[in-house]
Each structure stands twice: as structure tokens, then as C-alpha cells.
Amino acid sequence: MRLYKRSLSVFLRDRKLSIPYYAVLALIVAMSVYCLGSYSRSGDVFSAIKWWLARPTILIMTFFIYCGYELTVRMHDNNMVEYVRAHTRGLLKAYSAVLFSLLTIVAVPSSMFFAFFLFLYHRVGVSYAPFLVHLVKLSVLYFGLSPAAGAMLGMAMAARLRSNRLAVYSLTTGFMLLNTTFTDVPFRVPYLVFNSYLVERALYYIKDFLTLVPHQLGSHFAIYPIYGFPMEPVRWVVAVFWVLFPLTLVLVECFTRKTKRALLVVSALLLLLSVGLFSVRGSVLAMDMRNDSYPYADPIYYMDRPRQDYRGYEAGFAIEAYRMDLTVSNELHARVEVTVDNPGREGYEFTLYHGYILESVRTERGEIPFTREGDYVSLGGLNGSDTLVFTYYGKSPKFYANAQAITLPGHFAYYPKAGRSNIWDLDRYGYVVNLPPSESVYTVEVRSGLEVFCNLPGGDNEFHGRSNGLSLFAGMYEEVAHGIYAEPVRRDQPTRESILEAERILTDAFLRVGHPDMVIALSDKRFFQAPESFALNSNTDKTVIMSDHIVSCYSASGQGLANSIMTSIVRPWSSGGYWFRSHYIDYLLRGQEETSQAAQSEVDTSLLLREMEEWLLLPDPGASFHDNMTEEERVALATAQRRWGELERAVSEKAAKYLFYESARKQANLRFFFDYFTSESTDDWLPLATARVREELGP
Amino acid sequence: MIAVRDLSKRFGRKEVLHSISLSLGNGCYGLLGANGAGKTTLIRCMAGLFEPQKGEVLYANRPIHKLKGFQRDLGYLPQVFGMLPELTLYEMMDYMCSLKGIPRSQCAGEIAKALEFVNLEERAGERVRTLSGGMVRRAGIAQAILGDPKVLLLDEPTAGLDPSERARFRNGVRELKRDRTVLLSTHIVEDVDACCDNVIVIHGGRILFSGPSDELREVAVRRAGHKGEKPTLEDGYLSLTQGIA
């Protein structure tokens, strides 16, 4: 105790340590105030914590490396180690005193963060225990263990490197940079320059093991309420390792003979164990620029592979029933039994996302051979059996399933789906909504520490029912109203009223375009609000309607939800026409209401026709690009691109306004383009629109 | 009380101590040797800081690494000594008391006694950073004698002390040596001459001489044919080491 007090006195009396420490405490108070202010303005608690508290954590941690090192190295700087060691366990006592002093020093800001998070929880006013638990865990992992690990690293460097400050601060700088996104630039070089994906993976593997603050300084990734801050079990393993491993290195210095050797063995075992556990980390969110990063992994994967188009592919069989035993631990471990309706075929094709490693396919007569080719599994005949059991494990970077959260939407092939179907649509840049035409019977059991929410009836993570897609969500997720599932901490939660309003708007729209058959009884379906990450880097699955449920990212208002659902329906196969389609949906859903923009002035139809014709005749500027362009050609290209952009915006807006708002035949136009947008036509919209305008205006 | 038996110490390929054997009882022993002779290595081995490749150090006839009480009975002043500059001298002594396991109730008395021994009692409340180099050295001697150790290993204790403090130190050692073993490593022969009854001369990692001071003086007479005044310890030491050279 006396040694501890003296050691603490040294820290507090040394201005090089105490003044920065008080400054850091003041900074934490300021950061907390800014965080609170940010939350008050935006209402987004995770964004506020991310900006003001989580991202700067590495700087606080680096400061504690400095504190740990400078407090410990004093014994070396002042030549005390030799005579301290001459006492019974002298060095152990002295280092223990430093250790407890450092823990005290770390405990003060950690307690401040902890208290602030409790305050923030009450301020947010969401009475949701998992959110409170998340904040407590956050304060322990990010603001307790991380600075403690920093202090331990500082101590270890003092014990091993002694007064070699150049080495110590070089290592500290390297360590700090590895905990930021600034190392993304050199780490991406192997892939971008040498196309070496393996080297990039290896570099990031090392970086990940040294990453103590999972949400790194410089990261532009958002934190989604269902997941919160990354705190998967592997993060705790890494944090505990970086506390204990340096500690063993310090202890090695304190002992001699057998104990020293034993401690070296312990530290080596600790390293092996942690690397072992780290290597089976499974599904984690990689939030940086690497190829495996969750928004980029699939676009890059599919871009690098030969293009395959399975539109219109017929499976030749359907799956009548699924019996699923899913275990969600570090990743998804699945045993899926499927019953097919056509057991006499010579061969079967299934789609299963390539991230899931298929271990075996069995019938009741035993294992059967299969061929795996990316997302597709090919089998021979079933020898009279009608059931197949797929055993697989793995992960998807985007649709994760781990100990922290589960987001497995029914349109994604995380379980075998009949036939071959694309997972990613290169043209539309998004996930293909992969739903079978008929429903199947699902019997599902999910083993997970989380409460899982599913579109099927059931409870206690066991579900049974019929659908054309099985969606599973867990994490900071809740049934916020009857049949409505959402992230309780999210601001824009869906309500029964907003869903009913969307239903009314859509019904009106479908009736106006002469498609009463397409009316969707939204209020009869379970509604799952998907995290906004679903919309990240994917244009196609913001809203997916399945036979018994809807999965949608944006659902705060009825108008917004209706717009999102209509966008998922009105989806031409032809490329381009984004603005025109967007305006079309706007006019379709607003009905007779006048928009302020629409009311401003009438469209100059003759000018519109001239612009339409000009655009029709304008060559695609992208086609004229080549590597050896002269300066004149470049200027001409830039001018053409600018004009192309101007015409695209102007013509889309004016054509939509004329055809769907001002025209006497606006209802017919709405119907015509609804049929066009929902058909499989690959025709461009512009000639169609030009012809409609010209037809109306006459010769 | 403390003995060294067949002790060899090597750093890499360089053997610094060669099969050294010594036996030290109560009294003051002067360890003389040139720079690099192996004095500090021998003292560090005796303090249990270095593990020898061969041989052992015995205290009360038992190897020190098997004896839990040895370090409690040891007072050690290293060649280079420093303290935490942010603490006061008293706090630093208290820190050392705590390391030595001296009960808190006895600390104040022990500290006062030790600081008085080195004439620093009036500086007890001052920060270490304000003390001169000589004062720090004296504080080092003070920390070594905290807890009344039975064995005192002092490596260059008078380096940096002014003449009056050296004289005071010599007087103090005369007091200390009565009921304990004091090993005083130095290349200042006068200090050994003034305090020690026994001398150990080490050269090139080997013991050249170990015995009473008078015997070393006799060496001067025998080897160099010293005539005239009574030979000093330095004469004996020089005649011994020059002969080797």
C-alpha cells in the first residue's frame, strides 16, 4: 500500500505526466459535453458516441501507453532496478505498485465514461435493457480495457526496452496508426498494385490482431443500432490478451529461474491461445477499405468473377419444406433439411451463398457427392429420397450472424434455395431479391444467446410456419408494436399508422394504374425494419416484400415507406432512367396533390421536345473516352458530359412533370409506364417518353 | 556468515569470474581491484542479482537462492544509485522500508537512524531532485543500512563524497562492522585502509589475495623489498598487481 501511494505520488507530482493527465480528463468532459450536444441535435445516440467518444479512444489509449511507460521507466532512468531487485520480490513489489497506480489512473476516466453512459441512457429515454447492457459493455471494452491495455503495453515496453525511448515511441506510433484507418492506404497496395488479395488479407489479419479500438479513428462507417459498436467475443479476447500478455512480459522481469521460465511458457501459451481464438473469430464487421469489408466484399467478389446471368432460370423443382437447426455463435453453423417436390430428377441445383462452407449433403441413405461452384451446389439424383440434409457453416460479410447480432433476410441465400439464381446484380448494383414463387413450410430452431425475431410464428427461438422466405433478426432488436419489429434505439421507427398510410397510398396508386391485383395488404404482414446498412452499397433491397412479411430499411413515414415499396416494384430491366423513374414514383404516389415544384410553372413542351431529340441524338460521352486523348478531345468530352448531365436532369424532370401531372392523359401515361417499368422490357425509356409526348402534342 | 564457493560467471563468451571462493565473517572486508577486475560482478552475484554459471553463494551455510530470509538480511548499495526525484527523501526511505518489509511502526525510527548515520536527517523533507550527487550517494548508504541488515554489500560507497563525509562514513563503518559483515568494494585503497581489517584483491576475475590488511602490507615488503616507513595497504596492493602485470 505504501509503495502504491508513493508510486501514485510520483505520477501526480511529475508535471510531464500529471498535467497531460488532467488535460485528458478535461478533454473527456469536453468530449462528453459535445457528445451530448450532438445527440440533442441529431437524436442519433450511436452517431454521437461514435464521433465524440469512440473514435478518439485510440488517442486516449496512446496517452496511457505514454503514462504506463513513463511511470515505469522511472525506475530504470533513476538506476533503481538493481537495488530494488536485491530485496525479496523487490521488483515484483515495485512493478505491482506501478501497476495498481496505473489502474487507478485508468479507472478515473473509465469511471467518467461509465457515469456518462448511464446518464446518456437516461437521457435517451429508451427503456430497453440490452441498450443499457451495450453501453456498459462499451464503457468496459472501449474505455476500460483499452486504456488498461495501453498502460500495460507501456509498462511492458519500459520493463523490456528500458530507456530506449526511440524504440518505445516508434512502436507506440506504429501501434496507434494500426488502430486508425490511415494504414488503409499502404495496406491496400498489395491488392491495388499487385492484385494480391492474399497479402492484403494477411496484412489486415495482423492489423486486426493489433486493433484494440474496433471503431477506428478515421473510419467513416456508421454504427447501426441493431449491432451497436463492434464488441464480438473476439474483441474481448484481443483486449484481454493485450492486458495479460504485456503483464506476463513484465512479470518475467521480476522472477528468476523456474518461475521466469514458467512465465515465459505462460506468455507463449497466451499468445498461441489468443491467435487461435482470433483465427476462428467468424463473422465480424470489417469496417474499413479492405476487400472483405462488409459493404464492399460482395460487389468486389462478383465484379472479379465471370458474369453469369440466371434470370429466367427454371429450377425444375421446388422446396416443400425446410427443417433448420441453426447455431449462431462466432458465425452461422447450419443443418438444413430440405424436402423437394420432385424427387425423381437426375440432378439438382441449389443456390447457397459462397461464404458458407458446405461440409456435406446427405439423404437418409447416406452422404451424396456434390459440386460447389461459387454460390451454386450441384447434386446428382437422390436415389428415391425426397429429403436432403445440408450441413454448412460460414458467414456473409454483410448479412452477419454472430454473438452480437443477426441480420439474415429471407431474400438472401443463407440457406439453400432451389435452382440457380444470382446473388448480386451487377447492372443494378445490389443484391438480387431471391424469392421462390411458392411458399415452403419452415421448422426452425436457432441456438443463440440472443433473442431471435422471425417472420414465422413461435417463440424461444423456435419457429414454424409457411413463407417464401425466412428472415431472422436479433441484437438490439425488439417487437416495438404488434407485428412490427425494429431497432428500439433508432429514431425513425415504423408505426402501425405509417404502415396503414403506406398501404392506403399504394392501394390508391395500384388502382390508378389499373392493377388491383397488385394491392398489398401491408398491415397483414409482419414488418421488419432492417438496419440502414442494408441500403449501404446496394440499390436493390432497401425494401423486400415476402409472402408473409416485409423487410424495409426506411419506414418512418407512410409516404417514405410507400415510396420505398414502389421503388422495389417499379424496377426496369433496362439500365438508366433513374431520375425519370424517381419522378414517376413521386407523381404516382402523390396522386392529385400538387407539389410546390409542380405548381411553379408549366412545362415548355416545344423546348422539352427539342431537348429530348437533342439527347436522343447525343452520343454517349463515355463511349468516346480512350487513353490517348488529345487536350482538345478531352475538352470536347468534358463539354459533352456536362451537356449530357444537364439534359438527363432537365428532360427527366420535365418529361415526368408533363406526362404524369400536366397531361390530359396523365392516368394513361402512369399506367403505360407502370407496365413498362414492371415488364421485362430492356428498351430505353427516353424514346418511349419522347413518342408519348410527341403523340400528345400532335404534328 | 557469507561465503562464495567455486563461483564462475560468464557473459557470453567472456568469463568475468573464475572459480572464486571466499568466506566472510563479521567485520569489514575491502574488495580491491582495478576497473573491470570483476568487483561489481562478484558483488552482484553475492547479492543474488546474477546467477552464476558455476558455484554458489552461501549464507549461513545455505545457498542464497534457496534461502528466503537472505534478502531480508542484506543491505546493498549498487555502484550506480538513484531515487525517484518526485519523492521526498523521507518518502523514498519509506519506499525502501516497504520494499524491505520493515513494519510500518518501525519505519520512522529506522529512517531517522539511517539518515542520521549519513548526516541527512535535516534533508528528510526535501525532494530528492533538490539533493546533490553526494547527498544521493549518502542516501544510498542510508537505504542500505535500513532494517539493520546482517550483510552489507557496498559498491563504491564513497564515490562522490567530499572529504568530511568520507571521514564520517569511515567512522560509521567502524561502528557497523562490529556485529555484521561489511563488504566494501572500491578502488580507493585509503577507504579500505581506514575501515577494513581484511582485504580481498581481485584481478582479471581471480582472487589474488584474501586476508588481513597487515598481510597485504607484508606482501609489499616481501615482493618489492619495501624499506623505510611502514608500508601502506596501497603499497601492498600495487606490489601484488604490478607483479601480475
Which element (helix H / strand E) includes A288? Answer: none
Report the length, in residues, of chain B: 245
Q: Which three cell numbers stand for residue B17?
A: 569470474
pLDDT for B245 equals 45
Cα gap A423→A308, rounded to integer Å:
10
CB burial readout B108-147, b (16+ within 10 A) else e: eebbeebbebbbbbebbeebbeebeebbbbbbbbbbbbbb
- Which of A267, A293, A319 is a domain's end point? A293
For A577, other C-beta atoms within 10 Å of its C-beta total: 19
Number of domains observed in the structure of chain A: 3
- Which of A451, A475, A499 is a domain's end point? A475
Which of chain A's residues have a Cβ under 8 Å away from the Cβ of B44?
A: 82
> Could you tell me if A61 and A150 are in contact, meaning their C-beta atoms sit under 8 angstroms apart?
yes
CA distance to A446, A474, A496, A696, B33, per residue, from A452 (Å): 8, 5, 22, 55, 79
B7: alpha, beta or left? (left if phi > 0; alpha if psi -120 to 50) = beta
Q: Is the pLDDT of residue B218 over 90?
A: no
pLDDT for A29 equals 97
Closest to A58 in 3D by CA, of A183, A167, A202: A183
* Domain identity same for A187 and A162: yes
- Do the chains contact at A83 and B95, CB–CB below 8 Å? no
Cα gap A326→A334, rounded to integer Å:
5
CB burial readout A302-336, b (16+ within 10 A) else e: beeeeeeebeeeebebbbbbbbbbbbbbbbbbbbb
- Do the chains contact at A94 and B99, CB–CB below 8 Å? yes
> Could you tell me if A466 and A550 are in contact, meaning their C-beta atoms sit under 8 angstroms apart?
no
Cα gap A288→A181, rounded to integer Å:
7
Closest in A78, A82, A93 to B99, CB measured? A93
> Could you tell me if A368 and A382 are in contact, meaning their C-beta atoms sit under 8 angstroms apart?
yes
Cα gap B83→A75, rounded to integer Å:
8
Determine the distance from the C-alpha atom of residue A305 to the mean position of all C-alpha atoms in its chain, rounded to a whole number.
23
CA distance to A125, B31, B243, per residue, from A647 (Å): 49, 99, 106
- Do the chains contact at A257 and B65, CB–CB below 8 Å? yes
Q: What angle do CA A140, A142, A145 make, to 5 degrees?
A: 60
Q: Which three cell numbers stand for residue A652?
A: 427527366
Which element (helix H / strand E) includes A13? Answer: helix A2-13
Q: Is the pLDDT of residue B239 over 90?
A: no
Q: Tell me A620's DSSP state.
A: P
Q: Render pLDDT for B32-61 as a digit per residue (tens, 0 to 9).
A: 998 899 999 999 999 999 999 999 999 999
Query: Does B136 reach chain A within 8 Å, measured CB to CB?
Result: no
Structural domain contains residue A499: no
Q: Which three cell numbers stand for residue A494?
A: 415504423
**In this structure, is the dihedral angle defined by the CA atoms of residues B128, B131, B137 and B142, taken in order, positive or negative?**
negative
Half-sphere exposure of B215 (CA within 13 A, CB side): 11
A364 contact partners, CB below 8 Å, separation of at least 6: A385, A387
The residue of chain B nearest to residue A3, with distances taken between CA atoms, is B95
* Domain identity same for A629 and A680: yes
* Domain identity same for A260 and A331: no
A381 contact partners, CB below 8 Å, separation of at least 6: A344, A345, A346, A347
Which of chain A's residues have a Cβ under 8 Å away from the Cβ of B83?
A: 78, 80
* Domain identity same for A234 and A345: no
Q: Tell me B160's DSSP state.
A: T
Structural domain contains residue A525: no
For A249, other C-beta atoms within 10 Å of its C-beta total: 19
A445 contact partners, CB below 8 Å, separation of at least 6: A324, A325, A326, A461, A462, A463
* Domain identity same for A339 and A282: no
Q: Which residues, given as ranges, of chain A have pLDDT below 70?
A: 572-576, 591-600, 699
For B58, other C-beta atoms within 10 Å of its C-beta total: 18
Cα gap A231→A228, rounded to integer Å:
8
Q: Render pLDDT for B181-210 as a digit per residue (tens, 0 to 9).
A: 999 998 888 889 888 999 999 999 999 999
Architecture of domain B2-244: 3-Layer(aba) Sandwich (3.40)
A426 contact partners, CB below 8 Å, separation of at least 6: A302, A303, A307
Closest in B87, B94, B101 to A10, CB measured? B87
* Domain identity same for A130 and A213: yes
- Do the chains contact at A78 and B86, CB–CB below 8 Å? no
Cα gap A372→A357, rounded to integer Å:
9
> Could you tell me if A402 and A235 are in contact, meaning their C-beta atoms sit under 8 angstroms apart?
no
* DSSP reduced 3-state for B205: coil
* Domain identity same for A266 and A194: yes
* Domain identity same for A57 and A206: yes
Closest to B26 in 3D by CA, of B199, B141, B178: B178
Bridge partners (DSSP) listed for residue B20:
B7
Cα gap A19→A8, rounded to integer Å:
14
- Do the chains contact at B49 and A82, CB–CB below 8 Å? yes
Structural domain contains residue A585: no
Bridge partners (DSSP) listed for residue A339:
A321, A387
Angle between helices A496-512 and A558-569 (to 10 degrees): 50
Bridge partners (DSSP) listed for residue A406:
A401, A474
The residue of chain A nearest to residue B152, with distances taken between CA atoms, is A86
Q: Measure in Å the smallest separation between the Cα of B17 and chain A Cα atoms.
A: 20
Closest in A2, A79, A87 to B80, CB measured? A79
Q: Exposure of A622 by Cβ count < 10 A (0-12 exposed, 13-18 middle, 19+ buried)?
A: exposed
Which of chain B's residues have a Cβ under 8 Å away from the Cβ of A257?
A: 51, 65
Determine the distance from the C-alpha atom of residue B85 to the mean position of all C-alpha atoms in its chain, rounded to a whole number.
24
pLDDT for B120 equals 95
Write down the ipTM of this complex. Answer: 0.93
Q: Tell me A217's DSSP state.
A: B
Query: Does B191 reach chain A within 8 Å, measured CB to CB?
Result: no
Give the number of A-B residue pairs with CB atoms closer than 8 Å: 76
User: Residue A135 is part of which domain span?
Assistant: 2-293
- Which of A475, A491, A511 is a domain's end point? A475
Query: Does B66 reach chain A within 8 Å, measured CB to CB?
Result: no
- Do the chains contact at A79 and B51, CB–CB below 8 Å? no
Domain boundaries, chain B: 2-244
pLDDT for A84 equals 94
* Domain identity same for A287 and A314: no
* Domain identity same for A17 and A139: yes
> Could you tell me if A110 and A243 are in contact, meaning their C-beta atoms sit under 8 angstroms apart?
no
Structural domain contains residue A372: yes
Closest in A10, A83, A87 to B84, CB measured? A10
Closest to A223 in 3D by CA, of A45, A451, A430: A45
> Could you tell me if A506 and A567 are in contact, meaning their C-beta atoms sit under 8 angstroms apart?
no
Closest to A453 in 3D by CA, of A468, A470, A473: A473
Bridge partners (DSSP) listed for residue A349:
A378
Angle between helices A666-677 and A685-697 (to 10 degrees): 160
Q: Measure in Å the smallest separation between the Cα of B185 and chain A Cα atoms.
A: 15
pLDDT for A620 equals 76
The CATH number of the domain where A341 resides is what?
Answer: 2.60.40.1730
Residue owning grid cell 462478383: A302
> Could you tell me if B26 and B70 are in contact, meaning their C-beta atoms sit under 8 angstroms apart?
no
> Could you tell me if B97 and B147 are in contact, meaning their C-beta atoms sit under 8 angstroms apart?
yes
Average pLDDT of the segment spanning B75-89: 95
* Proportion of chain A above pLDDT 90, given as a percent: 66
Structural domain contains residue A501: no
The residue of chain B nearest to residue A75, with distances taken between CA atoms, is B84
Query: Does B84 reach chain A within 8 Å, measured CB to CB?
Result: yes
Cα gap B39→B46, rounded to integer Å:
11
- The residue that leads in pLDDT, B32 or B241, is B32
- Do the chains contact at A94 and B71, CB–CB below 8 Å? no
Cα gap A445→A327, rounded to integer Å:
8
Structural domain contains residue A421: yes
pLDDT for A595 equals 53
- Do the chains contact at A84 and B80, CB–CB below 8 Å? no
pLDDT for A4 equals 95
Residues of A with CB under 8 A from a CB of B: 2-3, 6, 9-10, 13-14, 74-75, 77-80, 82-88, 90, 93-94, 256-257
Query: Does B13 reach chain A within 8 Å, measured CB to CB?
Result: no
In degrees and rounded to multiples of 5, residue B74 shows phi and psi of -105, 135
Q: Which three cell numbers stand for residue A168?
A: 518505445
B104 contact partners, CB below 8 Å, separation of at least 6: A2, B97
Which of chain A's residues have a Cβ under 8 Å away from the Cβ of B143?
A: 83
> What is the DSSP annotation of B41-91?
HHHHHHTTSS--SEEEEEETTEEGGG-TTTGGGEEEE-SS----TTSBHHH
